Amino acid sequence: MSSIICKDLCKTFQQGEEIITGLNQVSISIEKGDFVCLSGPSGSGKTTLLNAIGGLDKPDSGEIIIGGIRIDNLGKGALADMRLHNIGFVFQAYNLIPVLTARENVEFVMQVSGMPTSERAEKSMKILKEVGLEGMEERRPAQLSGGQQQRVAVARAIVSQPTLILADEPTANLDSVTASQLMGLFVELNQHHNVTFVISTHDVRVMKYAKRLIRMEDGKIIADESQ
Amino acid sequence: MSQHTKALLPSMVIFTLAWRNLWRNHRRTLIMLSAITVGVWAMIFMTSLLRGMVDDMLYNGIRHLPGEVQIHQHNYRDDPSINNSMSPPEAKLLTALNMPIVKAWTSRIKVPAVIASERDSRGVILLGVDPQSEVKLGFDLDSISSGRFLQGVNDNGIVIGAKLAERLETRLGKRVVIMSQDPDNNIADRGFRVVGIYRGKLASQEEMNVYAGLQTLQKMLKLGNQISEIAITAEDYRNTHQWFSTIENATEAPQQAMPWYEADSYLSTMMVTMDGFVLVWIVVVFMTLSFGLVNTLIMAVFERTREIGLMQSLGMRPALILYQILIESFLLLLIGLVAGNLMALLTIIPLKDGIDISEVAQGMEMMGNSSVLYPALKMKDMLMANAIVIVLGLLTSLLPAWHASRLNPVEALSRN
């Protein structure tokens, strides 16, 4: 997986009797190892674009090509496999599986992809230590603070070394210190492991880390700047 | 790591998820488990009572025939008179009658007669028997409530039922007169002393069947060595079809062999009907359970919609999500089945000596049942109940599981 190419993406939603435009002829190309922030007001189409790139939602028209593979016409199973092996997701709400411990949440993706027990235990313990959760491995999400839960979610997203991480408002529920630590982790992964990041955010603290800042409004890209 | 082991790893995580999710709302799970347990118990317990009742009816019916297979002169069933008597078994039939599966057989005289005491008279079925082989065939010596059973084929006494003794206002030691016809249609009669009174499982038997020695009756009826029937029994009346053909092939015209299920079509219909009834009963109980099961799973899916969306976004295939909900349902059903089976065993085993239903026994006797009901726990019924609950349970669970697997991840993630 390397570059992401979106061509003329359109997506509308029905809300009551009203048709809402999520994406309107969006075309974008993102190179491998890029660090892109999508910004813009609520309803501008950031999350819709992120969901489309992640194969969570299908555009009404247009093409999405990731690593040379067109994904907008793949079936549910194939999309699931692509996400499992290539994409890490970080959501605004912490989105952990409540019946699993922090370690089990981190191991979840590796276990679904069939990684041996010893290997995934080693990786999960190491990554949890890196995100500062050593000693909390066997706690369930309800026993962790919001910041700790988000760090577990990040650990889960990066542990299987995906080539692309999609993050939707990852710092929205974090204090400034935790947000800064999280962004430091993202930058390190981007710089040392060449992981591509596409982050949707309102947070100016996040935007300052971006190599490329894309502004959206009413489902359109209105600015695309490298910094 | 082998491909097989690799393929099992996702199964392990979904098993863990299914098990933990099951106990997430433990109160709801316990209520559903109680419903399954009671439902399975009801299926097995009620089935064992029904089976016991039908077994009893069939057993009593076959005893009344008696014997699982009977051989008569071919006209005997239309006209059970002395004119339709037959010769005793010959070499070929004797060989068949002595095969290992045959538990016992006997020759009888069985003719209509009139019994008269000094007070009253009644029409009865007069049975001339060999007491030793009759006992082997199933006559219960404990049913003799006073006096004794016949001591040989030449015994000069007679054994009558308690009900008949009451009707005739006679008793042990008194004399009665038996009157019937000989082959020349002349009256054949003889006085007998009542040497025994028996209690039958059915009042009708007590009132109708009168036992005398085989040769005593042959002399009285001027029959020579002729008999009315040969009755044969094996260990289990359900397996009669396995050995009947051997007997049938050894029986030569004008004699005719007939199994109990042809001799008494009511009894055989009863057995088939009961199999169908048991199936209907189990399915009806399951259908009641299935509403609770589907509701539980729909609620579980509804409450976890966001998590399902999350698992999809992390790369869990729809098939694995479907599999997880089915495993959850399977675990719920399995625990309920184990508890239900255990509860059924614990309630049926202590009742092995029977349930006294004498208060309603008169009504039950009309159906051919005795006053003690013995629950009959059949492995076949237990397996059928378990299989139906598992198979239909999983089929019923497919709907919520399918719904979960088809959720749109974006919509699911946006649910609170």
Taking residues B158-165, what's their average pLDDT? 93
Helix (H, G, I), strand (E, B) or coil at B151: coil
CA dihedral A202, A90, A160, A133 (to 10 degrees): 100
pTM, rounded to two decimals: 0.72
Q: Please say if the pLDDT value at position A48 is more than 70.
A: yes
Q: pLDDT tens digits for B399-409?
A: 889 999 988 88
Which among B228, B227, B155, B167 is positioned nearest to B196, based on CA atoms?
B155
Whether the pLDDT of residue A53 is over 70: the answer is yes
Residue B2 banded pLDDT, cuts 50, 70, 90:
low
pLDDT at B1 over 80: no
Decide if pLDDT at B364 tops 70: no
Determine the residue type at B247. I
pLDDT by residue (tens digit) across B270-322? 777 877 888 888 888 888 888 888 888 888 888 888 889 999 999 899 999 99
Domain final residue, candidates B237, B263, B289: B263
Q: Do B193 and B319 belong to one domain?
A: no
CB within 8 Å of B217: residues ≥ 6 apart: B109, B126, B128, B223
* Domain total in chain A: 1
pLDDT digits (tens, 9 = 90+) for B207-234: 889 999 999 999 999 988 889 999 998 8
Answer whether B64 touches A (CB < 8 Å). no
What residues have CB less than 8 Å from B69, skipping those under 6 apart?
Answer: B231, B232, B233, B240, B244, B247, B257, B258, B259, B260
At B25, is the pLDDT very low, low, confident or very high (cuts 50, 70, 90)?
Answer: confident
Of B21, B306, B310, the CB nearest to A99: B21
Is A226 among the domain residues?
no
Strand, coil or helix: A11? strand
Residue A139: inside a domain, yes or no? yes
Residues B248 and B111 occupy one common structural domain: yes
- Is pLDDT above 90 for B91? no
Q: Which residue of A has its CA nearest to B23?
A: A99
Shortest Cα–Cα distance, B308 to chain A (Å)? 9
The pLDDT value recorded for residue B363 is 61
Rg (CA), chain B: 31
Asked if residue B375 and residue B256 are part of one domain, the reply reads no
- Using CB atoms within 10 A of its CB, is residue B200 exposed (0-12), middle (13-18) or buried (19+)? buried
**Residues sharing a CB contact under 8 Å with residue B266, sequence separation 6 or more, in sequence order:** B61
B252 and B273 together in one domain: no
Q: Does B308 touch chain A (CB under 8 A)?
A: no
- Report d(CA A90, CA A52) in Å as an integer: 15
The two beta strands, A35-39 and A212-217, are: parallel
Q: How confident is the model at residue B65 (pLDDT cuts 50, 70, 90)?
A: low
Residue B205 and residue B83 in one domain: yes
Residue B158 sits at φ, ψ, to 5 deg, of: -135, 145
Per the structure, the count of domains in chain B is 2
In-domain check, residue A10: yes
Closest CA to A60 of A68, A69, A48: A48
Q: Which of B220, B243, B263 is the last residue before a domain boundary?
A: B263
Query: Is a pLDDT exceeding 80 seen at residue B325?
Result: yes
Domain of B32 in residue numbering reads as 3-61+268-414
For residue B408 the two structure tokens come to 């749109």
Do both B99 and B213 map to the same domain? Answer: yes
Other Cβ atoms within 10 Å of B76 Cβ, number = 22
Residue B326 pLDDT class (50, 70, 90 cuts) = very high
How far, in Å, CA of B203 to CA of B365, rounded?
A: 7
User: Which of the pair, A156 or B365, is modelled with greater confidence?
Assistant: A156
Nearest to B146 by CA among B200, B197, B194: B197
Record: contact A81-B315, CB cut-off 8 A: yes
Find the CB nearest A95 among B310, B315, B318: B310
Contacts of B319 in chain A (CB under 8 A): 77
Same domain membership, residue B50 and residue B96: no
Residue B343 sits in the same domain as residue B302: yes
Looking at the partner chain, which of A80, A87, A104 has a beta carbon nearest the beta carbon of B316? Answer: A80
Q: Which pLDDT score is estimated for B360? A: 65
Pick the range with the lowest mean pLDDT from A44-53, A169-178, B62-71: B62-71
Is A99 within 8 Å of B312 when comparing Cβ atoms? no
The CB-side HSE value for B100 (13 A sphere, CA atoms) comes to 0
Interface probe for B, chosen from A1, A20, A99, A165 (most Cβ of B below 10 Å), is: A99
Does A227 map to a domain? no
Given a cut of 90, is residue B327 above it in pLDDT?
yes
Nearest to B231 by CA among B82, B80, B103: B103
Residue A63 lies in a domain: yes
Number of residues written out for chain A: 227
- Where in the sequence is the domain holding A145, given as residue range(s)? 4-221
- B372-373 and B157-161 as β-strands: parallel, antiparallel, unpaired? unpaired
Mean pLDDT over all residues of chain B? 85
Kindly indicate the confidence band of residue B243, based on its pLDDT and cuts at 50, 70 and 90.
Answer: confident
- In CATH, what number is assigned to the domain containing residue A69? 3.40.50.300
pLDDT for the residue B66: 67
Contact B228, B109 (CB under 8 A): yes
Output DSSP code: residue B227.
B
User: Could you give the dihedral angle defined by the CA atoms of residues A46, A51, A52 and A53, in that order, rounded to the nearest 10 degrees?
Assistant: 90
Name the closest residue on chain B to residue A93, using Cα atoms. B413
Is B391 near chain A, with CB under 8 Å?
no
Q: Report the C-alpha gap between B238 and B158 in whole angstroms.
A: 33
Pair B284, B185 in one domain: no
Which of residues B247, B263, B279 is at a domain's end?
B263
ipTM: 0.89
CA atoms of A91 and A200, how far apart (whole Å) = 10
Are B77 and B198 within one domain?
Answer: yes
B13 in reach of chain A (CB within 8 A): yes
> Does residue A57 lie within any of the structural domains?
yes
